Amino acid sequence: MVTLLEILVVTNPSSSQDPGIRLSSDLRGSSGKFQVHFDIEVNYLFEGSARYFFGRSDWNLPERRLVAFWGTTPHRLIDISPNARLATLRIPLVEYLKWESPKPIFEGIFEGGVIIEPVELTTPQRMDRWLLEYAAEDPNLRLAALLEMQAAMLRSQVAVPARKSSTNANAEAQPVMVMCRHINANLRESLTSSDVADVAGLHPNYAMRLFKRLTGMTIQEYVVHGRMAHAQRLLLRSNESVEQIGDKAGFQCASQYYATFKKVTGYTPLQFRKRHLD
């Protein structure tokens, strides 16, 4: 029987917040949509086989090794064996940024890179223990599990920097990947749906339909989420002013920046920075 476990990781183990552990019979879904989100996704295959489409190609998940990437790249699970046991952990971007690892180490993941844990760093029963401890009521055990996960990802990045995905893609997915990468590389520019479609060589109407069908969001929704993620990164990783960050994240005017930030996070940019850095 296929077992897929999805976990939302929170970094304050003493919080009363639900740790977000939920069991799903099938994370592949039936719609054929790619998954697109702005969290850091970590996959761990305990046993069996599983095949993922990510970036521009599909590849087999290695068994008993952490595989992590930023969810802004469209991805989906396309095949899994009957005996597979797979855990998928999603670390909210803001929590990942607070890990305070050296900037050059983790920046590769924000450029479409994939962290793949070297086989020599793996240890038996480690993930089983992490899941049990993270689900425990004892905040000390939850903290221990989280710190060990951070350490494992840091060691993996030091040993093997985040790898870029292959340049091969199937015919339908390739233009969506091109559009996503163009958006993330040009957030500061004016990004109309027509401009984005033109980069992929598509008619705007077809590009918008294809993007929505494969990612579940419109081109402009993806642009806004990308700008929000970039603004959050800068707020926590730089000393630039709130106003400078809004400009660098691509917001055309201050009122749009503040209104969007408050709507998405519940905080103004300054409140967000103080809340997560104090």
- In the chain, domain spans: 3-164, 173-277
Residue 240 has pLDDT above 90, yes or no: yes
Residue type, 153: M
Q: Tell me whether the CATH fold assigned to 3-164 matches the one assigned to 173-277.
A: no
Q: pLDDT tens across 140-197, in order?
A: 888 888 888 888 888 888 787 766 655 455 666 778 888 988 998 899 999 999 999 9
Mean predicted confidence (pLDDT) in 37-55: 86
Instruction: Give which of 194, 208, 6, 182 is closest to 87, Cα–Cα.
Output: 6
Least confident among 18-27, 72-81, 155-164, 187-196: 18-27
Mean predicted confidence (pLDDT) in 249-277: 91
Question: Which residues fall within 8 angstroms of residue 209, CB to CB, at 6 or more apart?
Answer: none
pLDDT over 90 percentage in the chain: 27
- The hierarchical CATH code for the domain 3-164 is 2.60.120
What is the per-residue pLDDT for 209? Answer: 93
Mean predicted confidence (pLDDT) in 110-132: 84
pTM above 0.95, yes or no: no
> What are the start-end ranges of the H helices in the chain?
93-97, 103-106, 126-135, 139-159, 173-185, 193-199, 204-215, 219-237, 242-248, 254-265, 269-277
Taking domain 173-277, whether its CATH number is 3.90.180.10 is answered by no
Residue 91 has pLDDT above 90, yes or no: no
Residue of higher predicted confidence among 156 and 13: 156
What is the per-residue pLDDT for 195? Answer: 94
Residue 235 has pLDDT above 70, yes or no: yes
Average pLDDT, the chain: 80
What is the per-residue pLDDT for 86? Answer: 86
What is the per-residue pLDDT for 3? Answer: 43
Give dist(CA 268, CA 272) in Å, integer: 6
Residue of higher predicted confidence among 53 and 202: 202
Instruction: Give which of 239, 238, 261 is closest to 271, Cα–Cα.
Output: 261
Mean predicted confidence (pLDDT) in 105-114: 73
Residue of higher predicted confidence among 32 and 108: 108
Quote the DSSP letter at residue 184.
H
Give dist(CA 97, CA 77) in Å, integer: 26
Residue with tokens 């396309």: 78
What is the per-residue pLDDT for 242? Answer: 95
